Amino acid sequence: MEEEGDEEGEEQWDQIWNQGEQDYVAAAGSNTGGLDRMALNDNKAGMGNLDKERINKVIYEMSKGSKYYENEQRKEEQVKAKIAAQHKQIQSFDAREIEKSELQADAMLAAIEEMRDFSRTIVHIDMDAFYAAVEMRDNPSLKNIPMAVGGSAMLSTSNYEARRFGVRAAMPGFIAKKLCPDLVIVPTNFDKYRQVSKDVKEILLQYDPNMCPMSLDEAYLDITQHLAERKNFDAEQKTFRTADGEQRMFGVDAEDVVQEIRFRIEVKTQLTASAGIAPNMMLAKVCSDFNKPNGQYLIPFNRQAVMDFVKDLPVRKVCGIGRVSCSMLGAMGVVTCSDLFRKRGLLLKLYSAISFNYFLRVSAGVGSTSVQRGDDRKSMSTERTFAEINRPAELFAKCYELCEALVEDLKKENLKGKTITLKIKTIKYIVRTKAHSLLNATQDVQLLYSTARDLLRTEIRLCSPEPLRLRLMGVRMSNLSPASKSSDTQITIHQMLKKSRGEQKLPFGAVVSGADRFLSFMEQKDPYVDEDLPGANAFPDEVPHTSTEKDNTEFICPVCDEHPEDCVDLRTFNEHIDLCLFHTNDEKKEEKVEEKGEDFAFKCPVCCVVLKSPLDSFNAHVDACLNRSAIKEILSEESLSTPRKRSSGASPFPAKKPKTDGRHTLLNYFKSPK
DNA sequence: TACATACAC
DNA sequence: AATGGTGTATGTA
């Protein structure tokens, strides 16, 4: 959406067009410790350099020294290294090579020219400061004050008053407050925006039934067909009224149609939209930004007009050329689209065929003319940022929580997936993803979790003996396919096992049978918590009475999948997990066991867990393990194997995060002392 | 296939 | 107290 980019223009670009980008980089560099990517990306007219400098200084002061800032520096270095590598490559080329490439590029360009198409009229509609505009509409007291939508962590958008202070989308609220102490931050109301978006879409569909929404506030239309039909419209079909009954009749040209669309949007929603009209989507998108807000712009449908438009257009304005590409291109003197043509010989040698072809098309002002909905979705994911989590038990609990949420979403769209990707972001903002593909697609929480958990376990082990300190975790399913009815009813061995297990025991002896009850069990108000866990209030780490029965099914280790005999309370449970994770097949384990001065210490040959139990319980454990193992062997194709053991994917944890102080929620009970 | 990056919104 | 979430595409190995 217009308000979410890290750059935008809201008045006609005019002078900005030529020098905006350069200006900005210079100003930013002087105030942000050389960190361009942190600076206010702003090429708005009417904002003095003084303001810009002050804004960048505030941003810098608020950011420097933070983990976030350090990571931005790291990434900046990476980009610099890429540019340096590129530079080196460039120097290895000789002039003759480049000339040759130019000829080749010209041939490609001829092919592109061949495809140039003026037969379609493409429109890009973009609501102005959408979320903020909706909030202002519904609460007029917000109208003439600086205001933004979002939270203290992140703003989705800001109104134009706030933008004058440098407050913009994708800026954390606390920095925005510093820039503009009077800023009012309104929380997002997605349901409301969705409704408004629906109202707008209803209008757009009348001009193009195949209209393609890109988000809640943006859409592409191909109005070619409408224009043809409109020639036969009578006056009434081109006449619309305001709420007050004031009438307006619109003409038959593309610009008239777009005026009409914008008029109708405003009448219906009291919100304004901007629009671009052009022979292709790439240009239409750029145009909708040109006279924003509440404006429109058309590029005449002939080659010369397009070439004129594209001549001085900064490449950064083009959808698909972002911050990094822009600085890479800038490093070799490519700033405008015509520069892309000038440097075509070099670009051909430096970039992949796909990228280069794209650059050539941009330089010629050629873009896609087919506005149609993308095919089916390719992936679905859930991720969450949180205050640091580093203890394995909590990491696994979080992972399970995410898997549950993801499966819920998958089921809503009746999808199953084959590839599972775990995403983690450390407290240093370093992001890693790990993926594993199953043999068959699934939408089963346990199967999903067993894989995600294995990936997480590997990560935890990888940084052992240091703890894995995370600020974000995510789970993604890809390789999607429809969860057909047949496969819904078809019971896999795995599901059968699950079924036969019947009611599943949860930690602390809680017994639930279905997901609903599982979840309701987690609610604070749930009677189980208040009534069935005596002593829980006073000593969350104390052993609840109900869990001291002989059968320790309450504690299921997420690493080894066992119900270790020695786990009688949370503290020992956590110790068991750590033991499992970090002291498996090596000497350390013996050390640890020795430290504890246990009389009995046996390592289960199947699951490798060290058990500190009398010989007969040990044997029982091994028997159980072997049994389970045999079954798992059958199921192994569906679960990620590890050298040590195969996983069953039994749900290890209650997974709901406490909502408020979480006094009595189960997750709290996992926070054992130590 | 797995992973990292870039990008959009 | 302190910088988001969801999805796609692409390059590389």
CA of A479 to C1' of C5 (A): 20
Same domain, residue pair A459 and A604: no
CA of A389 to C1' of C1 (A): 16
Return the CATH number at A466.
3.30.1490.100
What does the pLDDT read at residue A517?
Answer: 28
Helix (H) or strand (E) run with residue A501 in it = helix A493-501
Same domain, residue pair A287 and A405: no
CA of A214 to C1' of B9 (A): 8
Task: Using the C1' atom of nucleotide B3, identify the protein residue whose alpha carbon is closest.
Answer: A433
Give the confidence band of A519 by pLDDT, cuts at 50, 70, 90.
very low
Give the confidence band of A210 by pLDDT, cuts at 50, 70, 90.
very high
CA of A435 to C1' of B3 (A): 8
Q: What is the mean pLDDT of chain A?
A: 77
Q: What is the mean pLDDT of residues A2-7?
A: 43
A381 touches strand C (CB under 7 A): yes
A385 touches strand C (CB under 7 A): yes
Nucleotide nearest to A5 (CA to C1'): B9
Helix (H) or strand (E) run with residue A108 in it = helix A95-115
A57 touches strand C (CB under 7 A): no
Q: What is the mean pLDDT of residues A398-421?
A: 98
- In 3D space, the residue among A131, A164, A127, A125 whose CA is nearest the CA of residue A148 turns out to be A131
Same domain, residue pair A295 and A400: no
What CA–CA distance (Å, rounded) separates A115 from A102? 20
What does the pLDDT read at residue A39?
Answer: 84
Task: Using the C1' atom of nucleotide C4, identify the protein residue whose alpha carbon is closest.
Answer: A154
What does the pLDDT read at residue A532?
Answer: 23
Same domain, residue pair A272 and A416: no
Q: Which of A301, A326, A342 lies at the terminal end of a domain, its last residue?
A: A301
Spatial neighbors of A536 by CB under 8 A, at least 6 apart, are A529, A542, A544, A664, A669
Return left, alpha or beta for A210; rule: phi > 0 is left, psi -120 to 50 is alpha, else beta. alpha
Residue A214 domain flag: yes
Strand B proximity list, CB < 7 Å: A 1, 4-5, 75, 78-79, 82, 170, 214-218, 285, 318-326, 418-419, 421, 431-437, 479
Residue A12 domain flag: no
- In 3D space, the residue among A544, A498, A471, A462 whose CA is nearest the CA of residue A651 turns out to be A498
Q: What is the mean pLDDT of residues A614-634?
A: 37
Give the confidence band of A663 by pLDDT, cuts at 50, 70, 90.
very low
A378 touches strand C (CB under 7 A): yes
Beta bridge partners of A298: A277
Same domain, residue pair A382 and A297: no
Same domain, residue pair A135 and A254: yes
CA of A630 to C1' of C9 (A): 42
Q: Are A346 and A98 in contact (CB under 8 A)?
A: yes
The residue that leads in pLDDT, A22 or A185, is A185
CA of A604 to C1' of B1 (A): 34
A511 touches strand C (CB under 7 A): no
A355 touches strand C (CB under 7 A): yes
| pLDDT of A503 strictly over 60 | no
| pLDDT of A417 strictly over 80 | yes
What CA–CA distance (Å, rounded) separates A225 from A595? 80
Same domain, residue pair A232 and A132: yes
| pLDDT of A652 strictly over 80 | no
Q: For the full predicted model, state whether its pTM sits above 0.75.
A: yes
A174 touches strand C (CB under 7 A): yes
The residue that leads in pLDDT, A394 or A663, is A394
pLDDT digits (tens, 9 = 90+) for A288-303: 999 999 999 999 999 9
Strands A273-278 and A296-298 come out as parallel
Same domain, residue pair A284 and A198: yes
Residue A428 domain flag: yes
CA of A383 to C1' of C6 (A): 9
What does the pLDDT read at residue A574?
Answer: 73
Q: What is the mean pLDDT of residues A543-547?
A: 28
Same domain, residue pair A474 and A578: no
Q: Are A583 and A554 in contact (CB under 8 A)?
A: no
Q: What are phi and psi of A277, to 5 degrees?
A: -125, 125
Q: What percent of chain A is modeled with pLDDT above 90?
A: 62
Same domain, residue pair A141 and A257: yes
Question: Which residue reads 């080749």 in tokens?
Answer: A104
pLDDT digits (tens, 9 = 90+) for A212-268: 999 999 999 999 999 999 999 999 999 999 999 999 999 999 999 999 999 999 999
Residue A267 domain flag: yes
Number of domains chain A is built from: 3
- Whether the CA torsion A326, A329, A331, A337 is positive or negative: it is negative
Q: Are A265 and A203 in contact (CB under 8 A)?
A: yes
CA of A410 to C1' of C7 (A): 14
Q: Which nucleotides of C are covered by protein (CB under 7 A)?
A: 1-12
Helix (H) or strand (E) run with residue A442 in it = strand A431-442
Q: What is the mean pLDDT of residues A530-555?
A: 30
CA of A212 to C1' of B4 (A): 30
| pLDDT of A506 strictly over 50 | no
Give the confidence band of A567 by pLDDT, cuts at 50, 70, 90.
confident
Give the confidence band of A572 by pLDDT, cuts at 50, 70, 90.
confident
- In 3D space, the residue among A326, A318, A325, A323 whose CA is nearest the CA of residue A362 turns out to be A318
pLDDT digits (tens, 9 = 90+) for A301-335: 999 999 999 999 999 999 999 999 999 999 999 99
- In 3D space, the residue among A308, A124, A314 whose CA is nearest the CA of residue A217 turns out to be A124
- What's the N-to-C CA distance of chain A in angstroms? 47
Domain holding A391, by residue range, is 375-482
Beta bridge partners of A447: none
Q: What percent of chain A is modeled with pLDDT above 70?
A: 69
What does the pLDDT read at residue A53?
Answer: 87
Nucleotide nearest to A75 (CA to C1'): B5
Q: Which of A437, A462, A482 lies at the terminal end of a domain, its last residue?
A: A482
What does the pLDDT read at residue A137?
Answer: 98
Q: Which nucleotides of B are covered by protein (CB under 7 A)?
A: 1-9
Strands A470-482 and A504-505 come out as unpaired
Residue A659 domain flag: no
Q: In A280-391, where does DSSP find H-type helix? A: 281-290, 303-311, 323-331, 337-342, 344-350, 353-364
Give the confidence band of A50 by pLDDT, cuts at 50, 70, 90.
low
Residue A421 domain flag: yes
Residue A34 domain flag: no
Return the CATH number at A247.
3.30.70.270
Nucleotide nearest to A60 (CA to C1'): C3
Determine how many CB atoms are found less than 10 A away from the CB of residue A472.
Answer: 17
What does the pLDDT read at residue A170?
Answer: 94
DSSP string, A603-672: E-TTT--EE-S-HHHHHHHHHHHHHHHHHHHHHGGGS---SS--------S--PPPSSS-TT-HHHHT--
CA of A321 to C1' of B7 (A): 8
Same domain, residue pair A296 and A396: no
Residue A233 domain flag: yes
pLDDT digits (tens, 9 = 90+) for A13-37: 543 343 333 333 333 344 566 677 8
Name which of A52-56, A232-236, A517-521 the model is least confident about.
A517-521
CA of A475 to C1' of B3 (A): 15
Task: Using the C1' atom of nucleotide B9, identify the protein residue whose alpha carbon is closest.
Answer: A1
What does the pLDDT read at residue A555?
Answer: 67
Return left, alpha or beta for A117; rule: phi > 0 is left, psi -120 to 50 is alpha, else beta. beta
Q: What is the mean pLDDT of residues A338-344?
A: 98
| pLDDT of A345 strictly over 60 | yes
Strands A415-426 and A470-482 come out as antiparallel
Question: Which residue reads 């993308």 in tokens?
Answer: A374
Q: Are A662 and A671 in contact (CB under 8 A)?
A: no
CA of A462 to C1' of B1 (A): 21
Name which of A279-283, A318-322, A654-658 the model is least confident about.
A654-658
Task: Compute CA A529 distance to the chain's CA centroid, rounded to the nearest angstrom.
Answer: 35
| pLDDT of A557 strictly over 80 | no
**SS3 letters for A253-292?**
CHHHHHHHHHHHHHHHHCCCEEEEEECCHHHHHHHHHHCC
C-alpha distance from residue A6 to each of A18, A157, A630 (Å): 19, 11, 55
- Do you find a cis peptide bond into A465, omega within 30 degrees of 0? yes
CA of A516 to C1' of C7 (A): 29
| pLDDT of A568 strictly over 80 | no
Same domain, residue pair A381 and A293: no
What does the pLDDT read at residue A12?
Answer: 56
Q: Which of A482, A508, A523 lies at the terminal end of a domain, its last residue?
A: A482
